[in-house]
């Protein structure tokens, strides 16, 4: 017997079982209808007293208990249909319940994350308070017999020492920055300003080589004969502006001019950041034109543009972000 014949036989058997089940249910319905008709034709009236109604209910319960339960015949599909209906009903109720609980679950998850973040903050605050309490106890033990004037004097002296240390570190950092600009960065800034590659792409050139300029492909031009120093100086003044006198009257080369521009820009940005006193909107410096120094600071994530004006930049206040 092939698969098609087997499927046809099973379908016929299933249809026969359904037909038998339906006929059986219809027979039971007719029996109940006949019994109900007999009761109605006999003119039966329900007793009006509570005792009479209780006796009728007891008789009915006894009849149901003593009678054989209604069971479908062997092979009936009624149990399967009832189970299928119950299963379908359970699935639909489960889907409806899950849909109704989705929003509640999301709110609960969000509240849990907020509570976890609040707990971490409280733990950090607790640790900080414990350290502060320990510090105050140590100071109280060490200065139990000290006068308030002595404590104030110690605090002032400590702040003075810290200020001197910060000033030394700042001076050291500024010297390192100027050395980095003069030894490495200035030449690359000059190359970018004169149409060459961006900072970092040309590492081994010097000021004399880039003085000849770059071609349309961004490659160094070969110098033709002796370089005209006056013409070169005019070109430097056209790109970076006239000298401010910091070079001591000496003629500038391209690297010196680019280094002066970078130092001046960083100094203006630092001064503006200090003068702003935490107000980021007052920390911007307006650029006279788009410079290679400004582009380098932006690419290095040291500075950032104003959101509405590309000719204004400010330093990224990393310390303020950490404080927040």
115-158, pLDDT tens digit by residue? 999 999 999 999 999 998 988 888 777 665 666 677 778 888 88
User: What's the pLDDT score for residue 92?
Assistant: 92
Q: Is 105 helix (H, G, I), strand (E, B) or coil?
A: helix
Which residue from 280, 234, 241 is spatially nearest to 257, judged by alpha carbons? Answer: 241
Cα 196–Cα 202–Cα 206 angle in degrees, nearest 5? 90
Residue 195 clears pLDDT 80, i.e. is over it: no
For 312-323, the pLDDT digits (tens) are: 989 887 766 544
Residue 207 burial (CB count, 10 A): 17
User: What's the pLDDT score for residue 135?
Assistant: 84
Q: Which two tokens stand for residue 108?
A: 């609960």
Residue 18 burial (CB count, 10 A): 14
User: What's the pLDDT score for residue 322?
Assistant: 43
Only one residue has tokens 């017999």, namely 145
Residue 276 burial (CB count, 10 A): 16
pLDDT category at 85 given cuts 50, 70, 90 is confident
Q: Higher confidence at residue 250 or residue 275?
A: 275
Only one residue has tokens 């001591």, namely 248
Instruction: Give the number of C-alpha atoms closer than 13 A to the C-alpha of residue 186, restricted to the C-beta side.
Output: 24
Residue 225 clears pLDDT 70, i.e. is over it: no
Which residue from 61, 58, 56 is spatially nearest to 45, judged by alpha carbons? Answer: 56
Q: What is the mean pLDDT of the chain?
A: 77
Only one residue has tokens 């008789």, namely 59
Q: How far is CA 267 from the centre of its chain?
A: 34
CA separation, residue 160 to residues 143, 299, 314 (Å): 20, 38, 30
Return d(Cα 191, Cα 258) in angstroms, integer: 9
The size of the chain, in residues, is 324
Handedness of CA 25, 29, 32, 38 (dihedral sign): negative
Q: What is the pTM of this model?
A: 0.47
Only one residue has tokens 């062997």, namely 74
Only one residue has tokens 């204004």, namely 312
Mean pLDDT of 262-291: 86
Q: Which two tokens stand for residue 272?
A: 């503006």
């Amino acid at each position: 017997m092939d698969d098609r014949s087997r499927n046809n036989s099973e379908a016929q058997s299933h249809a026969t079982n359904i037909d038998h089940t339906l006929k059986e249910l219809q027979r039971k319905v007719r029996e109940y209808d006949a019994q109900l008709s007999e009761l109605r034709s006999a003119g039966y009236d329900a007793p009006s007293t509570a005792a009479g109604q209780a006796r009728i209910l007891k008789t009915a319960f006894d009849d149901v208990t003593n009678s054989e339960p209604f069971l479908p015949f062997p092979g009936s599909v009624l149990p399967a249909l009832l189970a299928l209906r119950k299963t379908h009903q359970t699935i639909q109720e489960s889907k409806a319940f899950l849909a109704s609980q989705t929003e509640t679950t999301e709110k609960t998850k969000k509240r849990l994350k907020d509570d976890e973040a609040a707990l971490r903050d409280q733990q950090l605050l607790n640790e900080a308070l414990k350290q502060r309490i320990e510090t105050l106890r140590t100071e109280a033990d060490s200065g139990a017999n000290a006068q308030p004037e002595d404590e104030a004097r110690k605090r002032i002296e400590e702040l003075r020492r810290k200020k001197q240390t910060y000033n030394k570190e700042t001076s050291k950092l500024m010297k390192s920055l100027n050395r980095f600009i003069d030894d490495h960065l200035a030449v690359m800034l000059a190359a970018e300003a004169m149409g060459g590659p961006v900072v970092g792409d040309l590492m081994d050139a010097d000021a004399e080589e880039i003085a000849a300029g770059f071609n349309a492909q961004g490659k160094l031009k070969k110098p033709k004969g002796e370089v005209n120093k006056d013409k070169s100086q005019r070109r430097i003044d056209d790109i970076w502006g006239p000298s401010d006198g910091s070079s001591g009257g000496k003629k500038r080369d391209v690297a010196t001019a680019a280094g002066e521009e970078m130092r001046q820009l960083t100094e203006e940005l630092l001064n503006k950041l200090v003068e702003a006193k935490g107000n980021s909107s007052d920390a911007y410096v307006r650029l006279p034109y788009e410079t290679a120094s400004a582009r380098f600071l932006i690419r290095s994530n040291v500075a950032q543009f104003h959101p509405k004006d590309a000719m204004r930049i400010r330093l990224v206040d990393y310390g303020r972000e950490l404080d927040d």
